[in-house]
Amino acid sequence: MIGQRLGHYLVLEKIGAGGMGEVYRALDQHLERDVALKILPAGLLTDEAARKRFRREALALSKLNHPNIATVFDFDTHGNVDFLAMELIHGTPLNDQVKPVPLPEKEILRLGIQLADGLAAAHAQGVIHRDLKPGNLMITSDGRLKILDFGLATLAHPEGDPDVTRNSVETGTVVGTLPYMPPEQLRGQPADVRSDVYAAGAVLYEMATGQRPFCQAQSAEMIGAILHQQPAQPSAVNHRITSGFESVVMKSLDREPAHRYQSARELLVALEGIGSGTPQPYKRRTIVAGGIGTLVAVLVGILVIVFNVGGLRDRVSHHATPASAPVRARRSVAVLGFKNLSGRSDDAWLSTALAEMLTTELAVGEHLRTIPGENIAQMKINLSLSDAESYGKETLSKIRANLGTDNVVMGSYVSLGGGQIRLDLRLQ
């Protein structure tokens, strides 16, 4: 292969190999730049229809433009060789750095924030990695984390193809991506953004402890552990780990997708919120949630009364209109979040927790249509909004139009200590 030309790419040297094919450094003779050529295994794309699908998906990947994602430039076929041209990253794979000595927590946070940021950008474009692991993360000489092979598992095997799991496991031994696969993926269920959150949690765990969440030597034993057990607390392996960081990792690794962070954006916010302080420890979350739960229940009661009064007005007005008048659709609400007025980083986690719990409680009974947190996070990016207690009339109109919602809930909070929280709520 060395010295051959694949289209306008001149193959220079082999730089890697894996389950998705061999990787070569090549010269793009049109643009006079070095690229990484991933030569796909023979027989991976069995016919022209498969190549068309791969090309279509590769085009979607090429639109991912983020400093923490390795860019896909091109997909082509030359003779019988199918290949992807991608950004050539000079650096060290993360799996060369995480064993056997754990990384300092400050460095883990720096890399973890970049990882979550890159994932959030891809998820916003509807792209899931599905094969996230230290070997797919490159650290450049200037300390930047780059996510490699984004979406290649999806390209090679469409959702629902059992080969995605089968190709990651070799009978009797653990290889490939198994240690980073969430329970739902092992069960053959469709992967979503929360599957990537789990894998990111496994990577954070390994950076913090120098070992994987589950270390069973046999694949069958590891699958059983992933499906039915919780990993050991990171602090049990590395006593330097703070409770705040441990909380984030353990929530990301929860066996139930609904109990994890519901998006990479939420994981990003949690990691950024650790800062110099710490969120509440994972093991104490149920105790803290009891206090917050009471607060949320009161908030829900207030909002339900407000919405019911509005509904009563609607019903009264409907009695005065012809029977042919259209029935009003159920109201919708978006919980935009709550600003932390205390300025204390160890209270920052409350913003996401309050928004998540309030959204969940308002959705009970399906009387209200609630807007998912991922949609709200993307809206804030689209409109370049920062966290605030309230927004002006023009901005609110843009928010409602972007989310397709009737009402927005937002506000601020201050932790008073002793488990007490003062929260100012605005329904706009």
Check if the beta carbon of residue 384 is closer than 8 Å to that of residue 272. no
Token code pair at residue 228:
């039915």
Q: CA distances (Å), 320 to each of 115, 313, 323, 325, 326, in order?
A: 57, 11, 9, 10, 13
Positive or negative, the CA dihedral 323, 326, 328, 329 is positive
Tally Cβ neighbours within 10 Å of residue 56: 11
Say which residues have a Cβ less than 8 Å from residue 220's Cβ, sequence separation at least 6.
Answer: none
DSSP, collapsed to helix, strand or coil, labels residue 134 as: helix
Question: What region, left, alpha or beta, does residue 272 occupy, with left being phi > 0 and alpha being psi -120 to 50 degrees?
Answer: alpha
332-340 and 407-417 as β-strands: parallel, antiparallel, unpaired?
Answer: parallel
Q: How far apart are the C-alpha atoms of 221 and 90, rounded to whole Å?
A: 37
Give the distance from CA 277 to its chain's centroid.
23
CA distance 293 to 287: 10
Q: Which residues pair with 78 in a beta bridge?
A: 81
Are 201 and 249 in contact, with CB atoms under 8 Å apart?
yes
Cα distance between residue 23 and residue 138, in whole Å:
14
H or E, element range at 374: helix 373-382
Q: For residues 46 and 101, what is the distance between their CA atoms, to the nearest angstrom?
A: 43
Is residue 114 classed exposed, middle or buried when 0-12, 13-18 and 19+ CB atoms within 10 A define those classes? buried
Q: Is 131 a catalytic residue?
A: yes
Q: Which of 28, 74, 117, 131 is catalytic?
A: 131
Among 49, 53, 139, residue whose Cα is nearest residue 93: 139
Catalytically active residues are 131
